[in-house]
Amino acid sequence: MSTLNFTFANETISNRAEFLKNLIQDGGRFQGVVIEANTTASLKPKKEGCPYGKKDDVRKDTTYHVDVNGKYADKINRIREAEGKEANFKARKSWHVKLYDTANGSIVAKRSEVENNLPITEVYLLCAVRFGKSKNYTIKGKPANEFEVATIKKFAVDRKEQASKSQGVDDGHIVTTIASSNLLEVRANKQVVRTF
């Protein structure tokens, strides 16, 4: 286990990072965690007919069942082997770096900030999504009506399909990051923590 040298932009971000690190025992045993989060909905671009863009700030509350403290490339290679494919997957360099345990940790920050010795402005939880259920959609901060929710779902990006293509597997493995400021609740290690 190795760590990086870094500083935080403020005490709130530092406290969130430290708290999450301890809550999930960052870099410790591979484990399942349940997360409630309010995140931006991933939608297809307007050129594909989606009526909503960034300015519409389409958001959703989602309950995610995820795994933390794992090695992404190892998991994909196990899937590839199970599907009778060569286990030669290598993860591309991502926009984030692991802060505390650079091998299998799950607390990450922007690579550009860490590598340029800039104060970290947000910490994220890196996790593998087993499944998620979304509800309470909003557009520009206002609750979406039934028609708007149907439209949002129609133009939602199929993350599983994207994962399948990039990983070269039939059963894609969704790996995502969730900003600590978007977390509403985390259930890990027999603890339930609300409001970050």
Beta bridge partners of 75: none
For residue 176, what is the enclosing H or E element?
Answer: strand 175-179
pLDDT at 109: 97
For residue 163, what is the enclosing H or E element?
Answer: helix 159-167
pLDDT at 11: 96
Per-position pLDDT tens, the chain of length 196: 556 689 999 999 999 999 999 999 998 999 999 999 999 999 999 999 999 999 999 999 999 999 999 888 888 988 889 999 999 988 888 999 999 998 889 999 999 999 999 999 999 999 999 999 999 999 999 999 999 999 999 999 988 888 888 888 888 889 999 999 999 999 999 998 986 6
179 burial level (CB within 10 Å; 0-12, 13-18, 19+): middle
Hey, where are the domains in the chain?
11-194
State how far the Cα of 66 lies from the Cα of 91, in Å rounded to an integer: 19
pLDDT at 92: 85
pLDDT at 196: 61
pLDDT at 162: 86
pLDDT at 3: 61
The answer to whether 14 and 21 have CB atoms below 8 angstroms apart is no
pLDDT at 2: 56
At residue 97, the 3 state secondary structure works out as: strand
pLDDT at 74: 87
pLDDT at 159: 87
What lies within 8 Å, CB to CB, of 65 at 6+ separation is 32, 33, 34, 129, 130, 131, 132
Sign of CA dihedral 42, 139, 33, 17: positive
pLDDT at 132: 94
